[in-house]
Amino acid sequence: MSAAVSLSDHQRAIGSLHVAVKRRGEASVLADLRQEGCLKARFPRPVDWAEVVTLNSSGGVAGGDRLASRFGVGAGARATFASQAAERFYRALPADPPAHVRTHLAVAEGAAAEWLPQEAILFDRAALDRVLEVDLAGDAWFLGVESLVFGRTAMGERVATARLADTIRVRRAGKLVLHDAIRLDGPVAEVLARPALAAGEAAVATLIHVAPDAEARLDDLRAAWADVPAEAGASAWDGILVGRVVARDGACLRAAVVAGLNCLRAGRSLPRVWLC
């Protein structure tokens, strides 16, 4: 007689990734790479501004999965970290712990880094605990975005309930300069319907820029968002610029995010994975 197996005892996806980039002459090159489990990294364009593309070979994230990534950019180096595609966070069983996703990015003196993952798509009853930690040297340059899409609207999907804890922390010269947290647990659709939150829209994004001239870019970003098919706004203080986007679906959200990134990236083209 076989023993009974709980539905919550299914296999978990585990992934660990470490990528470091350093300056060599005029180029930014790979300094270290360690990858384990379902997380991998690819390097499509070895150029002055290094490009690193991450991928999750498990095909999506479910309750109880654990993914941890660490990225380092050495003194004077420049690197962009992007994901191969939008990440899908699937329904979790009630007894499942949330998926744990941890990302740490360290940027040294005189270095520049971009954190440009594509959208996180949540399915109904998803459970996610995600933390992004960014540690910057005092003169480091950083541009990052995190996007959440609550169901694929074009496919008729709707996220009625979910468990979500999504945190971004940015430190500059060891001092915490930004702590941004989203907490949703239970009737997500009802919460997002509130006028002061998302007014019924299904996609949100946060854009963060930290640089000595970040405040001077505020008017440019607001102008870039003047005609996007979404509600978008930005504020800036103490060398930090933060933008928020709320949109009816993932396509409209992406249009606004791309417009913002193009504004702040000095004419450089987005990673090719964003254009596929």
How many CA atoms does the CB half-sphere of 39 hold within 13 Å? 24
Say if CB 188 and CB 150 are below 8 A apart: yes
Q: Which residues pair with 59 in a beta bridge?
A: none
Please, which pLDDT band fits residue 10 given cuts at 50, 70 and 90?
low
Q: What is the pLDDT of residues 106-131, one digit of tens each?
A: 999 999 999 999 999 999 999 999 99
The pLDDT value recorded for residue 30 is 94
Angle at 65 between CA 62 and CA 68, to 5 degrees: 130
Mean pLDDT score, 229-249: 97
Mean pLDDT taken over the chain: 92
Angle at 216 between CA 210 and CA 218, to 5 degrees: 80
Q: Domain for residue 185, yes or no?
A: yes
* Structural domain range at position 98: 13-275
Report whether pLDDT(133) > 60: yes
How many Å apart are CA 140 and CA 211, to the nearest integer?
A: 7
pTM for the whole thing?
A: 0.93
Report whether pLDDT(2) > 50: no
Q: Which residue has the tokens 């109904």?
A: 124
Q: Domain for residue 182, yes or no?
A: yes
DSSP 152: -
Please, which pLDDT band fits residue 1 given cuts at 50, 70 and 90?
very low
Q: Domain for residue 6, yes or no?
A: no
CA distances from 158 to 149, 172, 192, 202 (A): 10, 38, 12, 8
Terminal Cα distance for the chain, rounded = 51
3-state secondary structure of 37: strand
Q: What is the pLDDT of residues 59-103, one digit of tens each?
A: 899 999 999 999 999 999 999 999 999 999 999 988 899 999 999
Q: Domain for residue 118, yes or no?
A: yes
Sign, CA torsion 77/82/268/260: negative
Number of domains in the chain: 1
Please, which pLDDT band fits residue 267 given cuts at 50, 70 and 90?
confident
Q: Compute, in degrees rounded to 10, the torsion defined by CA atoms 56, 62, 64, 66.
A: 10
Of 137-141, 178-182, 194-198, 246-250, the least confident: 194-198
Q: Domain for residue 7, yes or no?
A: no
Q: Domain for residue 2, yes or no?
A: no
Q: Domain for residue 1, yes or no?
A: no
Please, which pLDDT band fits residue 276 given cuts at 50, 70 and 90?
confident
Q: Domain for residue 179, yes or no?
A: yes
The runs of H, that is alpha helices, within 123-245 are 188-192, 218-224
How many CA atoms does the CB half-sphere of 119 hold within 13 Å? 24
Report whether pLDDT(6) > 70: no
